[in-house]
């Protein structure tokens, strides 16, 4: 299914912050690692800040840091901070309510959306940012 890369980039950003958790990192520096424009990074950092995962500071010595330990940030926290919709969409037009299938299919599909979202979250809750960083540093599979 079509999707955006915001979750992936957010994990990348936070992994960098976790790696140097005692420093403030600049958006420009993260942008170089992700290979994109610094504004793209700052936009995501705003979302992560709203979710209370990071704090940013303006000014000459500014930058961004985690608000908590990497062990205490789950991938579900990150998913919630940046996710913008469900895995699949319903059709833009309302189905024909005079058709027995059209009349009820929406609610059935809507519940299925929630079911799927739940299993994704259950999976993501099991991993922390610390797990990701460990996998990245040792170049091994997340487990």
22 binds a copy of itself (CB under 8 A): no
For tokens 């990192």, the residue is: 25
Binding residue (CB under 8 A) for a copy of itself from 21, 57, 85, 125? 85
Candidates 45-53, 54-62, 65-73, 85-93; binding stretch for a copy of itself (CB under 8 A): 85-93
HSE, side-chain direction, 13 A CA sphere, residue 134: 10
121 binds DNA (CB under 7 A): no
The two most distant CA atoms of the chain are separated, in Å, by 64
Q: Which two structure tokens, joined as six digits, stand for 7? A: 């979750």
Residue 35, phi-psi category: left (phi > 0), alpha (psi -120 to 50), beta (remainder):
left
Binding residue (CB under 7 A) for DNA from 14, 17, 45, 129? 45
Site string for DNA, 72-111 (x = CB under 7 A): ------------x----x-xxx------------------
Binding residue (CB under 7 A) for DNA from 33, 37, 52, 97? 37
Neighbouring-strand partners of residue 14: none
Candidates 12-20, 23-31, 68-76, 125-133; binding stretch for DNA (CB under 7 A): 23-31
DSSP one-letter code for 94? P
For tokens 């990071």, the residue is: 54
């Amino acid at each position: 299914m079509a999707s955006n890369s915001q979750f992936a980039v957010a994990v990348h950003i936070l992994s960098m912050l976790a790696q140097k958790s005692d420093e403030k990192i600049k958006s420009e520096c993260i942008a170089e690692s992700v290979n994109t424009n610094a504004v793209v990074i700052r936009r995501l950092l705003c979302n992560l800040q709203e979710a209370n995962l990071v704090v940013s500071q303006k000014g000459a010595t500014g930058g961004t840091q985690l608000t908590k330990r990497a062990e205490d940030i789950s991938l579900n926290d990150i998913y919630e901070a940046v996710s913008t919709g469900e895995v699949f969409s319903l059709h833009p037009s309302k189905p024909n309510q005079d058709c027995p299938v059209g009349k009820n299919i929406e609610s059935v599909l809507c519940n299925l959306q929630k079911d799927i979202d739940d299993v994704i979250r259950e999976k993501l809750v099991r991993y922390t940012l610390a797990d990701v960083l460990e996998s990245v540093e040792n170049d091994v599979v997340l487990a």
